[in-house]
């Protein structure tokens, strides 16, 4: 994903780049040495502090809301975001704010997840919890992991935000897990809502849910563990 985003952004050595929803700075570590200045931001102060502790040269860290960055108009040459736009309450507003702070000819590159049906790595628990009435289905337009999974929707939002050129590329990904315990641990740490539901279940019901979820990914198990496919969308725009 990092390679695909960097290729889409096409950063130059004298660029000023803004990273939105930068998390703990993994992408910033790869991008910082390639540009003149990188502003790595996130809405979470804890994430910003974790990224700052990496000590990446040439990077400034700030707490920033994607919906209202507080940056001047036309102040950056490029903007990059890995899995952030689908989580904001209004991605159209976030993209319009992105367009506002980009200079003429500036470049945007961002990643979102393709629809749930194309991401088996992330969908073992969700259908099981829905079938048992243990979790509410996502509402249309609600922020979420797969909220910007359709190429047509992404293109429409980007163009409506004022960009004139947009391209969406499918990027296959692969997740590897040693065993079921490894998978369960990672998924429940990534998905706070799933973890909260599981923690409230009695032992018997939790075992039933785990068994049904595990059955959904058994076809991906081999001698070395689970190898689960997924698909991301990398969008570039000017």
CATH number at residue 65: 3.40.50.150
What is the Cβ-side half-sphere exposure of residue 79, based on CA atoms within 13 angstroms?
30
**Whole-structure pTM value:** 0.94
Which pLDDT belongs to residue 137?
86
Residue 221 lies in a domain: no
For residues 87 and 190, the answer to whether their CB atoms sit within 8 Å is no
Q: Which phi and psi angles does 79 have, rounded to 5°? A: -135, 135
Where the chain has pLDDT below 70, the residues are: none
Q: What is the domain range of residue 78?
A: 2-115+142-174+230-237
Which pLDDT belongs to residue 141?
79
Which pLDDT belongs to residue 9?
98
Which pLDDT belongs to residue 34?
96
Which pLDDT belongs to residue 146?
95
Which pLDDT belongs to residue 138?
79
Residue 41: count of CB within 10 angstroms of its CB: 26
Which pLDDT belongs to residue 140?
77
Residue 198 lies in a domain: no
Residue 55: count of CB within 10 angstroms of its CB: 9
Q: Which helix (H) or strand (E) holds 60?
A: strand 59-63
Which pLDDT belongs to residue 192?
87
Which pLDDT belongs to residue 5?
97
Residue 17 lies in a domain: yes
């Amino acid at each position: 994903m990092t390679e695909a985003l960097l290729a889409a952004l096409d950063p130059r050595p004298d660029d000023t780049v803004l990273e939105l929803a930068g998390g703990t700075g993994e992408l910033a570590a790869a991008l910082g040495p390639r540009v003149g200045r990188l502003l790595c931001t996130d809405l979470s102060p804890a994430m910003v502090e974790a990224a700052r502790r990496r000590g990446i040269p040439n990077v400034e860290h700030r707490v920033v809301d994607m919906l209202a960055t507080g940056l001047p108009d036309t102040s950056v040459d490029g903007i990059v975001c890995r899995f952030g736009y689908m989580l904001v309450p209004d991605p159209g507003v976030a993209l319009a704010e992105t367009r506002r702070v980009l200079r003429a000819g500036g470049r945007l590159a961002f990643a979102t997840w393709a629809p749930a049906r194309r991401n088996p790595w992330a969908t073992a628990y969700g259908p099981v919890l829905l079938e048992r009435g243990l979790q509410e289905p996502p509402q249309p337009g609600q922020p979420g992991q797969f909220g910007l999974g359709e190429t047509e929707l992404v293109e429409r939002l980007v163009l409506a935000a004022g960009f004139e050129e947009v391209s969406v590329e499918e990027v296959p990904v692969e997740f590897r897990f040693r065993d079921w315990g490894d998978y369960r641990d990672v998924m429940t740490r990534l998905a706070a809502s799933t973890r909260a539901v599981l923690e409230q279940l009695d032992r018997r019901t939790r075992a039933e849910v785990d068994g049904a979820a595990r059955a959904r990914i058994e076809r991906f198990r081999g001698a070395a563990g689970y190898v689960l496919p997924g698909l991301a969308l990398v969008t570039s725009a000017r």
